[in-house]
Every structure is written in C-alpha cells, then in structure tokens.
C-alpha cells in the first residue's frame, strides 16, 4: 500500500527536455504507451533518468491537444493501454525539436568546456 517508490532526484537539468524525449522515442518506435516510455527511458539511461507519471501523463495529453500526437486505446491482458504516435505535424515538429536539442547541447558544451572551441 505505501507507494514507497524510489525517490527520483532527477537533476533540474532535465526540466524542459521531456517533450523532446517523448517525441524522439515515438519517432523511433512508431507507437508507445506511457508506461512503456518510462521503462524505455530508464533502460536507455541505465536507471539515471526516471520519468514520473505526474510529469509524463500531462505531457502526453498536452502534446495530443497540440495535435502532435494521436492516441489509440487498446485493451491488453484486461488492462488499458493508450498508445501514442506522432501525427504528421508531430513528425515535422520532432525534426525541429531534435535540431534545437543539438544546438542546446553544443551551446552547453561551449559554455562548460571552452577549451574545445575551435
């Protein structure tokens, strides 16, 4: 009963990156459901990043409301799953977001590792 889950301690740095992560995973995997996304992220980052439901589900709903995702409900093993996939608009937008992410990472590296400027 005690929802005693592991305290996450995700660095503040991840703030703002959730939408990009979701969209990239969907671009790569075609369709995914929420819980699957949390597990995938945990696996890829070797447990370093745990998406919380309180962040994930509102984010999915918002992306859907913005027309970037489509949803499709399935019942598997008597349990509900909501599969999300990118719309056409979402696919286009994903390209932009990934480009922004590259710029962001490049800029952060310039700020933090000025010796590497060339």
Contact residues for its own copies, defined by CB under 8 A = 11-17, 19-21, 24-25, 28, 41, 44-45, 48-49, 98, 100-101, 103-105, 107-112, 114
End-to-end CA distance of the chain: 56
Distance CA 72, CA 54 (A): 21
41 touches, from DNA, its own copies, none (C-beta below 5 to 8 Å by class): its own copies
75 is an interface residue for DNA by CB under 7 A: no
43 touches, from its own copies, DNA, none (C-beta below 5 to 8 Å by class): none
Q: Smallest distance, Å, CB 49 to its own copies?
A: 6
13, 24, 22, 18: which is closest to 98 by C-alpha? 24
Pair of tokens at residue 117: 């400027």
DSSP 3-state assignment of 101?
helix
8 is an interface residue for DNA by CB under 7 A: yes
Distance CA 38, CA 22 (A): 10
Query: SS3 helix, strand, coil % of the chain, rounded to 5?
Result: 55, 15, 25
Residue 49 or 55: the one with the smaller Cβ distance to its own copies is: 49
- Please report, as ranges, the residues that interact with DNA according to CB under 7 A: 1, 3-4, 7-10, 12, 14-19, 33-36, 39, 51-55, 57-62, 76-82
């Amino acid at each position: 009963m005690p929802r005693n889950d592991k305290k996450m301690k995700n660095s503040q740095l991840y703030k703002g990156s959730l939408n990009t992560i979701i969209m990239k995973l969907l671009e790569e995997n075609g369709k995914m459901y929420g819980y699957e996304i949390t597990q995938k992220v945990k696996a890829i980052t070797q447990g370093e990043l745990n998406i919380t439901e309180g962040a994930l589900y509102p984010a999915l709903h918002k992306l859907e409301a913005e027309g970037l995702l489509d949803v499709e409900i399935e019942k598997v093993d008597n349990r509900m799953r909501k599969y999300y996939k990118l719309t056409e608009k979402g696919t286009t937008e994903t390209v932009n977001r990934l480009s922004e992410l590259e710029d962001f990472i490049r800029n952060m590296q310039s700020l933090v590792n000025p010796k590497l400027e060339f």
